[in-house]
Chain A
Amino acid sequence: MLKRLLSKQNRALLSELVRTDFKLRYQGSVLGYAWSLLRPLLLFVILYAVFVKVLNSGRGIPHFPVYLLLGIVIWNFFTEMTNQSLASIVARGDLIRKISIPRWMIVFSSSISALISLGLNLIVVAIFMFWNHVELLNTFPLLFLYLIEVYIFALGCSLFLSAAFVKYRDISFIWEVILQAGFYLTPILFSLSLVPEKFHKIVLLNPMAQAIQDSRYATVTHSPLVITTSKVFNGGWHDLAPFAIVILVFIGGIIYFRKESKYFAENI
């Protein structure tokens, strides 16, 4: 199965689609690819100035700038990937109506583009870590596990959204609102300790909140102020709830996409 999915032709196609995507993104700009590093760097400098220097919302969390940054990077990865994928099938309508490339390739190539941006953003995070004297924790490798979790979650959402968008163009507006709500329901800019304790469990059922908090714990600091899902639920099967949601969304997305993709060519 996987061998067929990643056949020589499919790999070539994937790399061309991703390449095209990147070339077109920085088309006509003087600094070109440099923007993919420069843009997040400048945005983080602004956030740092506002949240660390002006608002001082760290409340005693060590390495708060890096803590803040990592959360934003992970959240941005999720929004960028889902937003790009959402429109990807419709945007590639010309291909879908004329050749029979595997439809999921289009969503997959958008996800790879988002992964590349994530990689570049993580480089910026690493720069901040070095500059902020964050010591390398032994839980550091777990970060990649959580990133994979976010990727799978985003891929499930992307498959569902891109297929639904072919039929219902309101999806883009609805998703925009959901993302905005999600941004404030997830402890990205604020520390969870600011939220009354009775809400912690609900907030941390959200896979994004869980992944961001766990990533921060694994990478930035083991300070007790970093509230994670397993701390809140204190062990037990509830721990696995966010992962279960991720798996369900992923499988649901695949099933819906497979069902709808047969009719993309006539519905676009």
Chain B
Amino acid sequence: MSDDIAIKVDHVSKTFRLPHEKQTSLKSTLINFHKRGYEKQKVLSDVSFEIKKGEFFGIVGRNGSGKSTLLKLLAGIYTPSKGNITVNGKLTPFIELGVGFNPELSGRENVFLNGALLGFSRAEMNAMYNEIVEFAELERFMDQKLKNYSSGMQVRLAFSIAIRANTDILVLDEVLAVGDEAFQKKCYKYFAELKREKKTVILVTHSMDYVQQFCTRAMMIEEGDIVHIGKTSEVAQKYQELFMAAEEKQHKSGDTVSNNSLSCKVDFENQGNELQFAVSFKSKVALEDTVVTFGINSDTGEQVYRWISDDKLGKNINFNAGDAYKLVVKLQNVFPVGEFTVGVRVKNHNRTQNYAIFDEIAQFEIPSRNSLGWDLLWKPHEDVKLEKL
């Protein structure tokens, strides 16, 4: 193996033998010796790749695609069923933060235990103990038992130890999935530092932001196979296509809702980067000087978008009996993942009389983030047209 290679994965397969009914007692094993029902589950099939020294390598894939298994193989926790993995240098895995933390021990004792598990000697731990505590901002709590720490404090402590790991190769799995914003910022800084120092890092993540920001190269796996390996932008693109393919183009035709004055129906279409709503009104009676409101609520009940006719059009709408109108709302898809409801209201111009309140007239779901990302400021580009049919 040449010197600039950090990890070489050579035709590696991993198969788990999953017993149909787990044989955990000798008797059942003896009785069922000849008819042991095993199901072989191939999690990785014939995977080969190399990671060079100094690379920040991203591994992405859906849940169950085999990326965690691959990570555990790299970390030496699992043994490959076939093939070889060669690691050049000292490798430290972070499958989870705070491995071996014991709730009955004090913070101080846990620091030393965790440090030893990460491969530090006691002298090294003594030398950096104060820095760790300071970084975790837990000076006052070190002699308390870990079970009295909040989960945030535990994570902070674990992270402070973890970032001291002075190894050649770091393997990180979803470490970022936990913690508040301040903690995420610390993670972010740590990653930036790792990248500056040209450490060899393998990062398994679902976040395309992290992949594109930090990784120098990435790989996507799907059902135990490498689908793509190469530029991060290509991998991120492939990853998003994976979800696009799964959800197809969403099109949903709503039910017609009516009361004494109006009937109304909302058709919804998710075109990826754009959401389109077509609201069809039909009045049963004549309604003068009305205001139409179109709103979108998140599943927690907050209004995230609103369009009001008199505000946007500068005039009120008159319905004659039997008139049909169509309101087409096109919104840039900056919505986060989640479920949303659409509400339509028709009132008189000074809001003293309600002609129609159709809250939750339609529902739609954003199953995954698209390439636009989502806008925290909630200012989607809008294109709204009201036409009389």
Contacts and interface: CB of A to CB of B under 8 A. Distances in A.
Given A16-B113, A27-B104, A169 B24 contact: yes
B25 A168 contact: yes
Interface string A1-42: 000000011011101110110011001000000000000000
B79 interface: yes
Candidate in A95, A98, A263 with the most chain B CB atoms within 10 angstroms: A98
B279 to A, nearest CB: 53
Consensus secondary structure, chain A interface: helix
A17 B79 CA distance: 24
B99 A95 contact: yes
Interface in B64-86: 72, 75-79
B95 A168 contact: no
Given A12-B122, A23-B109, A262-B79, A99 B25 contact: no
Given A12-B121, A20-B102, A95-B117, A266 B16 contact: yes
A114 interface: no
Contact of B77 (A16, A20, A98): A98
Interface string B24-61: 11110100000000000000000000000000000000
A94 interface: yes
B99 A16 contact: no
A170 B27 contact: yes
B210 interface: no
A97 B25 contact: no
A96 interface: yes
Interface residues of A, number: 31
Chief secondary structure at chain B's binding surface: loop
A12 B26 contact: no
A54 to B, nearest CB: 41
A12 to B, nearest CB: 4
B171 to A, nearest CB: 10
Nearest to B116: A16
A20 B72 contact: no
A12 B116 contact: yes
B307 interface: no
B93 interface: yes
A174 interface: yes
A226 interface: no
B77 A99 contact: yes
Contacts of A52: none
A94 B75 contact: no
Contacts of B121: 8-9, 11-12
A98 B99 contact: yes
Contacts of A8: 121
B116 A98 contact: no
Contact of A168 (B26, B102, B122, B125): B26
Interface string B98-109: 011010110001
Given A12-B122, A27-B104, A100 B24 contact: no
A101 interface: yes
A173 to B, nearest CB: 9
B274 interface: no
Nearest to B124: A12
Nearest to A265: B77
A24 B102 contact: yes
B183 interface: no
B109 A101 contact: no
Contact of A266 (B78, B117, B122): B78
Nearest to A166: B24
B293 to A, nearest CB: 53
Contact of B105 (A24, A99, A174): A24
A80 B29 CA distance: 28
A9 B119 contact: yes
B199 to A, nearest CB: 19
14 contacts: A12-B115, A13-B119, A16-B117, A23-B104, A23-B105, A23-B109, A24-B102, A24-B105, A27-B104, A99-B77, A99-B117, A168-B25, A168-B26, A266-B16
User: 7 closest A-B pairs (Cβ-Cβ)?
Assistant: A16-B116, A100-B76, A262-B79, A12-B121, A13-B116, A9-B119, A98-B95
Interface of A: 8-9, 11-13, 15-17, 19-20, 23-24, 27, 94-101, 167-171, 174, 262-263, 265-266
